[in-house]
């Protein structure tokens, strides 16, 4: 949507909420600030907007950033903008006035409008979207819901997310399916090489290929569509883990070529903690059994996956405010800014003797997530030193051949924060 249509939609949504009895979700000054700040970068390309310090200073002020702790593990879970926090609090207080009435008869009525709005960002039909708690829940629903027989093969990556690998191992142990694993040597900038790692494992018994769009350990972007097209040509179904790409990279979910997909909205959309999204191609919904009880567990209505009983409906409805905030910025601008920040600190850090990277510099194969190492030092020791001596929060990664520290800024991070990081890395490297 363009900015004018977005603001009209947002105003309409606020009016609808007011008629439901939830008054004063957001002060009008917030909407005016959103409009003013977005106008400041009107006409700029995404790369030009990435350098507009005034705009990104406004973005920073829209979060409750700690003045003491430098949070560079946004890849684990991102904070919510203040407008989302306030909406969440309002919904929570409203629901507590009469929980079963206000939650189920009032607040929950907003899900279909939210579904329609999310479908615009996802580039798909609203009849293909289900809301849940995170990528793990979404992909586990799919993994355990697929009909597979003993001997059926599933292609995985040794660098897929552990919760997904363990779900497949459970099916291997319980159902006798066969898991086949590919390996990667990071960083990788050769698309054909990556694609062939998967294709070389395909056989006549292969039923599913599981693809992690962005490898969480190092930020490697996998050419998902090419692998998916090759799989479909052989009658193989495709599951995509979009935890780190949704709302960070600009794409429509169907464009990935997946049959099944899930993501966490509390990552790059900055929605409330414990909110997620599952997408299933419309004609495939009937093929996935509902993980929890449903009247028609083998039906073709995506809502069968939302039968979770009592849950925090306020958190779910507050997703819409993060969605509005994201749309004001735009995925293209967000990605450009994140790549700018990533390159800013990496280009400085790479000049430090002994420092290297597991991630690519090529934007085709990389994103905000980066992973560095210091020769002769343990990732755990580096991570602990960053926290103990500099109050910089990162995460150490020791998995397969990786022994590095993952650094993940977000759009509220500024260059002064990253200068602080580089100084810390340099001092640790010298110690």
Question: Does 351 have pLDDT greater than 50?
Answer: yes
Which three-class secondary structure state does DSSP give residue 9? helix
Which three-class secondary structure state does DSSP give residue 155? strand
CATH 3.40.640.10 domain position(s) in the chain: 112-322
Question: Does 34 have pLDDT greater than 80?
Answer: no
Please tell me the predicted confidence (pLDDT) of residue 38.
Answer: 72
Among 72, 85, 73, 76, residue whose Cα is nearest residue 267: 76
Contact call for residues 252 and 122 (beta carbons, < 8 A): yes
Question: Does 1 have pLDDT greater than 50?
Answer: no
Please tell me the predicted confidence (pLDDT) of residue 39.
Answer: 76
Contact call for residues 159 and 399 (beta carbons, < 8 A): yes
User: Which range, of 20-24, 72-76, 364-368, averages the lowest pLDDT?
Assistant: 20-24
Number of Cα atoms under 13 Å in the Cβ half of residue 7: 13
CATH 3.90.1150.10 domain position(s) in the chain: 333-430
Look up residue 398 and give its two tokens: 């020791």
Question: Does 58 have pLDDT greater than 70?
Answer: yes
Q: pTM score, two decimals?
A: 0.92
For residue 326, the surrounding DSSP H or E stretch is helix 313-329
Query: What does residue 24 show for φ and ψ, rounded to 5 degrees?
Result: 70, 35
Please tell me the predicted confidence (pLDDT) of residue 29.
Answer: 59
Contact call for residues 86 and 25 (beta carbons, < 8 A): yes
- 3-state helix, strand and coil shares in percent for the chain, rounded to the nearest 5: 50, 15, 35
Among 116, 117, 96, 118, residue whose Cα is nearest residue 107: 96
For residues 83, 78, 182 and 252, what is the CA-based torsion angle, rounded to 10 degrees? 20
* Whole-number Å distance between alpha carbons of 65 and 416: 14
301-318 residue pLDDT tens = 999 999 988 888 899 999
Which three-class secondary structure state does DSSP give residue 67? coil
Q: Where are the alpha helices (DSSP H) in 111-268?
A: 111-122, 135-145, 162-175, 191-199, 224-233
52: Cβ–Cβ under 8 A, 6 or more apart, which residues?
A: 40, 41, 44
Please tell me the predicted confidence (pLDDT) of residue 11.
Answer: 40
95-133 residue pLDDT tens = 999 999 999 899 999 999 999 999 999 999 999 999 999
Please tell me the predicted confidence (pLDDT) of residue 276.
Answer: 98
Mean pLDDT of 252-263: 98
Q: Which fold has domain 333-430?
A: 3.90.1150
Q: Where are the beta strands (DSSP E) in 274-414?
A: 276-280, 355-357, 370-374, 392-393, 395-399, 402-407
Q: Where are the alpha helices (DSSP H) in 330-378?
A: 331-349
193-234 residue pLDDT tens = 999 999 999 999 999 999 999 999 999 999 999 999 999 999
User: Which range, of 44-53, 283-292, 304-313, 369-378, averages the lowest pLDDT?
Assistant: 304-313
Q: Which residue has the tokens 């697929």?
A: 146
When the pLDDT of each residue in the chain is averaged and rounded to a whole number, the result is: 92
Regarding predicted confidence, which is higher, 42 or 4? 42
CATH 3.40.640.10 is the classification of domain 112-322 = yes
Question: Does 373 have pLDDT greater than 60?
Answer: yes
Regarding predicted confidence, which is higher, 393 or 292? 393
């Amino acid at each position: 949507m363009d900015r004018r249509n977005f603001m009209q939609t947002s105003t309409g949504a606020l009016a609808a909420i007011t008629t439901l009895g939830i008054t004063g979700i957001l002060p009008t000054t917030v909407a005016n600030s959103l409009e003013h700040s977005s106008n400041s970068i009107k006409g700029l390309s995404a790369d030009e907007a990435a350098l507009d310090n005034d705009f990104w200073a406004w973005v920073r002020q829209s979060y409750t950033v700690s003045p003491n702790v430098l949070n560079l593990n946004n890849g684990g879970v991102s904070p919510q903008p203040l407008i989302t926090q306030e909406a969440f609090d309002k919904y929570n207080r409203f629901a507590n006035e009469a929980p079963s009435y206000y939650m189920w008869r009032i607040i929950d009525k907003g899900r279909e409008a939210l579904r329609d709005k999310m479908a615009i960002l996802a580039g798909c039909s609203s009849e293909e979207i289900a809301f849940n708690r995170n990528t793990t829940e979404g992909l586990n629903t799919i993994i355990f819901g697929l009909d597979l027989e003993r001997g059926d093969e599933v292609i995985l990556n040794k660098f897929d997310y552990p919760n997904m690998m363990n779900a497949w191992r459970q099916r291997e142990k319980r159902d006798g399916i066969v898991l086949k694993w590919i390996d990667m040597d990071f960083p990788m900038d050769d698309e054909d090489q990556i694609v062939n790692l998967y294709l070389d494992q395909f056989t006549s018994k292969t039923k599913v290929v599981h693809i992690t769009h962005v490898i969480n350990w190092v930020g490697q972007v996998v050419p998902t569509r090419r692998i998916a097209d090759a799989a479909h040509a052989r009658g193989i179904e495709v599951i995509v883990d979009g935890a780190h790409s949704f709302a960070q990279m600009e794409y429509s979910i169907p464009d990935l070529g997946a049959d099944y997909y899930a993501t966490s909205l509390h990552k790059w959309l900055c929605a409330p903690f414990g909110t997620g999204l599952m997408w299933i191609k419309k004609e495939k919904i009937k093929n996935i059994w509902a993980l929890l009880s449903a009247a028609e567990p083998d039906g073709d209505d995506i809502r069968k996956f939302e039968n979770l009983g009592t849950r925090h409906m306020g958190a779910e409805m507050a997703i819409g405010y993060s969605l509005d905030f994201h749309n004001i910025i735009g995925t293209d601008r967000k990605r450009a800014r994140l790549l700018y920040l990533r390159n800013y600190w990496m280009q400085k850090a790479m000049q430090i003797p002994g420092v290297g990277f597991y991630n690519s510099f090529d934007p085709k194969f990389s994103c905000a997530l980066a992973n560095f190492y210091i020769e002769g030092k343990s990732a755990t020791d580096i991570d602990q030193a960053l926290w103990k001596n500099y109050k910089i929060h990162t995460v150490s990664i020791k998995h397969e051949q990786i022994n590095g520290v993952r650094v993940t800024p977000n759009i509220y991070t500024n260059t002064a924060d990253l200068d602080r990081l580089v100084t810390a890395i340099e001092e640790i490297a010298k110690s």
